[in-house]
Amino acid sequence: MSTSTPTDHPTNPLREGLSARPTPQPCNVVIFGASGDLTFRKLIPALYNLGADGDLPTAFNVIGFARREKTDEGFRKELEEQARKYSRQGINDELWASFVSRIYYHASTFENLEGYKALAAKLDALDASSGTKGNRLFYLSVAPSEFPVILQKLADVGLNTAKDGAWARVIVEKPFGKDLPSAQALNKVVNDVFSEKETYRIDHYLGKETAQNIMVLRFTNAIIEPLWNSRYIDHVQISGAEPLGVEQRGPYYETSGALRDMIQNHLLQLLTLVAMEPPVELTADAIRDEKVKVFKSLRPMSPEEVARDVVRGQYAAGAIGGKDVIAYRAEDRVNPESMTETYAALKIHIDTWRWAGVPFYVRFGKRLAKGATEIAIQFKNVPTVLFSRDVEIGPNVLVIRIQPDEGISLRIQAKRPGTALDIQPVKMDFAYGTSFGKASPEAYERLLLDAMAGDATLFARRDEVENAWAFIDRIENAWHHSDTPPPLAFYPAGSWGPKEADDLLERDGRAWRRM
């Protein structure tokens, strides 16, 4: 009987990318910004869960790099407290003890060259003692303003280049720029030090289980792809809703807003997976080439089109789950006259043969009635002969639920039992929870594993990010730099967003789905 260990899955270069199980290689992961929220809530719990599932390489260590003085022990204690709260599978004391013994803390400012020299020495020592073979994954979990200094110092001590067949990679967190020029500048800073091949730009939506399933759904089911075009599809809705407000992130959000924070990256990434052509192979670049073509085909909007086809909204005071909540303008460290949008809805055209005349409606809002993300593909109606002559027949809708309740459903028409001919829509439903009986891993688990395996399929390539910004910048410019900026629409917290967003679809004889 053959047994399988985490590091012995054969890799066939022709089957890399989404088709193969990622094979992480022995490595040291260095987290810059180790005292930050992301480390405690997402990164360490994700690594622990990978370990608990037997997916980590046997030779593996984490080094947390941050300013404050701390001992390894102190750092480990803090991590444990938070991991107990945030780990998807809880914490098993024995597994945790073995996992945490491989986590170290390294105190240094980001500017101090000596700190990087000491880091290099520590990494060499760990390579020798634990067999990590000189492989290094640097995770920049810091504000983009810190990127240049960290990258420069890594280069100064030679940590950006790998020795003897080993690798050195960098993972960068969002926000990846705030417009096209800043994204280009940031890309230059990163790519001056790490090649594009070694650069992994995180978009955690790509790591979500159902997002990964979009390509599988489309390209492995004979009944789907033949219908996936303007001949059969009426329109597509991509919606994200959150009951949360901006919480403690007022200062960041004031420079960002919903369009930059959620749509430029997460929701447009989902859109590309829905709209792309089949890639020629399942390699990272073949897939991302197709996504880039979609980004390039997004029809640029003139200021008049922005005024007509984009709605920006902001939450006013209201109630969520029976509790009163304050308006965005009253949030901590938010300008009381802020024009920042906490909601945006857009009608997007994709100028390709496949999608000619099929609008993609995309919306996202904070402080909405419910938390959910979904993609709904609405098909065209059947011709109005036969059944639909006397009764109204609704369209088929294929809904891909990204979260919560991950799954896919198809709305079809059925005859209601009885002697009369009553037609009613019913749902065929696939739910991950019931079909597979296993909770999906968190997005960060998959993404960290992929980065350790050298698979960049689920990371945003430089040209994806820049083309997305080119599209978004025109909207931001129309909002902020035109003589007659479109108004900001207010909506009560706990609602489904501003009325203007409903009008956007109503004008086209359509309506948003209730999620």
Query: What residues are annotated to the active site?
Result: 266
Angle, helices 44-52 vs 93-100, to 10°: value is 120
Cβ proximity to ligand BG6, 136 vs 367, nearer residue = 367
Angle, helices 113-130 vs 147-156, to 10°: value is 60
Task: Tell me phi and psi for residue 505, to 5 degrees.
Answer: -85, -35
Q: Whose CB is nearest to ligand BG6?
A: 261
Question: At closest approach, how far in Å is the CB of 357 from ligand BG6?
Answer: 31
Q: Which two tokens stand for residue 151?
A: 């990258």
Nearest-angstrom CA–CA distance, 352 and 236: 15
Nearest-angstrom CA–CA distance, 223 and 98: 48
b vs e for 239-267, b when ≥16 Cβ sit within 10 Å of the residue's Cβ?
Answer: bbbbbebbeeebeebbebbbbbbbbbbbb
**Strand ranges across the sheet with 199-201:** 103-107, 60-66, 27-32, 136-140, 168-172, 199-201
Cβ proximity to ligand BG6, 262 vs 501, nearer residue = 262
Question: At closest approach, how far in Å is the CB of 406 from ligand BG6?
Answer: 12
Interacting residue ranges for ligand BG6, rule: CB under 6 A: 174, 204, 242, 261-262
Report how far apart, in Å, the C-alpha atoms of 81 and of each of 86, 442, 497 are. 9, 19, 37
Cβ proximity to ligand BG6, 211 vs 505, nearer residue = 211
Cβ proximity to ligand BG6, 70 vs 208, nearer residue = 208
Cβ proximity to ligand BG6, 250 vs 318, nearer residue = 250
Under a CB-based contact definition with an 8 Å cutoff, are residues 304 and 271 in contact?
Answer: no
| One-letter identity of residue 240 | G
Question: At closest approach, how far in Å is the CB of 242 from ligand BG6?
Answer: 6
Under a CB-based contact definition with an 8 Å cutoff, are residues 363 and 239 in contact?
Answer: yes
Question: At closest approach, how far in Å is the CB of 261 from ligand BG6?
Answer: 5
Under a CB-based contact definition with an 8 Å cutoff, are residues 143 and 32 in contact?
Answer: no
Question: At closest approach, how far in Å is the CB of 262 from ligand BG6?
Answer: 6
Question: At closest approach, how far in Å is the CB of 444 from ligand BG6?
Answer: 10
Cβ proximity to ligand BG6, 349 vs 401, nearer residue = 401
